[in-house]
Structure 1
């Protein structure tokens, strides 16, 4: 502005503008510095007032803990944990403020106030906490202490689900996540808040952090005191809840379960009526405030439990009805469930998988017996391998919850393994094949539409060519005599493979059905 081709007069005018702007900046800077000082003073006054209020809240919790330890001992102990963590961090922040004042050589005036307008240095914390884009050892110490305080408070708030709202507010207040600047670039939290700021601004921010500590302490003391007082002095928000030992009962059984006040209020009622009958409280109420019920469940079907608790609150009777309490009575089982997993009959000589159960009775209280029956692996799983006879009976017994036995039985038909079909080249019955395929082909026996995996091995068969006597072959392929007869057969003639005998690992197998092959060449 003062250079270039301007005249001497213009250069002087330009220089005067620069001096004027600098003077305005200096005046503005003092006003801003003074404003920060006023803010710091207000935060300091607030911290003193909050400290006094917090001491009274903590004292009230300690008194209630002595008077009613059952309700207030745990909240008072948690409040002490909060105070210890808060005092430690508060003192640490105070030491940071003292270091800043000492490094800047700032002196208190006659009224004990700092020289706010003189605290314009920006290099005190910059040199102590930052080095390039990283934190110094001292800067890292600051972050470590902040995080240690956050962890201590979060650990306390994590002990009770009802503190979740307070925990979320605390996390927001003491968030140290990176902050985007005006260009959208994320800046480290400590650098964003303290790097390049005048000393009075950083000093004020540290006092504001102390204020956050005191407010957190106050909110948590109120939380511990207020929540417990509400629970201990009012029951309007509680409901009587039935906790049945099981959801369904057999006809003739007694209902067994408990009626509790929500959240286990631990407040003794003066009267309890269930299904129109008054319950003896001296025998029914346990140490948790739950009432044990014992009455006949009635007939089969769904039933509603009706009744109410009666308490004394503020000198008046408060009735809490039992709501949403129902149970179902099912018929007492008199038959077992017995089913073959594969079919309605059992086959001789093979392992027939079965499932055997008794309605409403666990597997370990059910037993089954029968000729060829053995226990398998898995709940209710059995294996049946019938041998002789045309029928097999399975007997099942069960032990019910009340100790009484129940039994049932079922008879199954025993059938032999069905007759297999002869097969060559994957074909059965009557089909066409080239002469060479028959000569080198393998004769097989298969159980078609049979649900069991039972492989068969052909041991012998007979081979017949029209105009020639039948040839008996051992094994599952044509012998030399059969091949010679095959070569003499005319094109288009039918050759037969019959009396196909096979074996398996166990049961006797009937001869397979014959196959008729028309020679295609």
Structure 2
């Protein structure tokens, strides 16, 4: 039995070992009373460990609030360990009650009547096979708990985990190969000793649970970096700039304090810091690699000499580049006006023009803003050119996917199908085609026709065709008289989209309640 570090727990286990040895010599009233004292002390210890473990579980909950993604996997294992340990603990508690009942139960003072009864533990644990059953549960629990420990710690845990399932040694000091685990612990031992042994296993479970969840909690931050040095860091708005663009550099120290402003110099210029952060601005000029350098100086925490940290950061100043982007997404839709933004760094927007390769057209609305209209699915390429120094130069091109506008969703009122209150359905006028979650506003479908079928209890099936979004006139009265339990079928729905193409939509059904 591995002895825990807690002094109180060490004393309890030592007393348990001593009393077990004394039991082999004589079963006197004093020994039985001593076992009672040890058992009570173990139970008290179990309560203390349970409270300590709950503190750890509460810490898991707090960590989940801070970082659920990182904490979640470890909390899940901790919860599994908690549930498995509780199940085993409660099972042993049931065995204790069974043995006490077999020994005559409790007296009016709550004490075990048959503390010295040797038969009760033997009947329950050996004859009724509860001992092997307990042994199997403890072995399974130990293996489960060890599976939650980090691989690098598993070997150490296998040696130190309090929950061990092994047959001890005989009084002669040699292992008794004929004794089973159940026989060794429970054969012909007094009831109070058997109960104390079971309490001891409960204590091992609690201590093992504590060791494992502590390890799991430590794993949450095991991979976190521990910083013990200070160095400057710099963030540029871009490391690749065009001639004439503004360079913006954010400079601070990591980790920096918002209450201590460092002294910063960049390229010989003093930068004022606010909340620990300094910002340097300069205009990029001259094509090629450039750099900024300087120092960040912090006051010493202990009042000594200030500490300075030098830095250097490079960036590139290059020639013009072109940007072509779809304002909505990298897709052009048929039947709608697709807005496109086109820019070329270093080139005036009025000098830039674009053309479309493919089925469609592109129109310039204002500086840098275009509208593309396409007519057939596939691909389209936008080519950009610019007039630079009187010459037309190609600045680049970009390929887009061309797709039809997605199908709409059919609705009666706000319902897409399924269960609908009869009273709400009766007041509807027809069918709508709703385009949901589409990037373009104002794009809609028109319902140009559909068929309605009505199944009413006690009536023949009724059917009618509509050539507009509204229910057919021949079914108006039937729709106004719909009742719970009736079913309305809507099929052969035809809708016309912004591309002018008529589409057939899937059928839907409404069950009235």
Pick the TM interval, shorter chain: 0.3 to 0.5
TM-score, normalized by length of structure 1? 0.37
TM-score, normalized by length of structure 2? 0.37
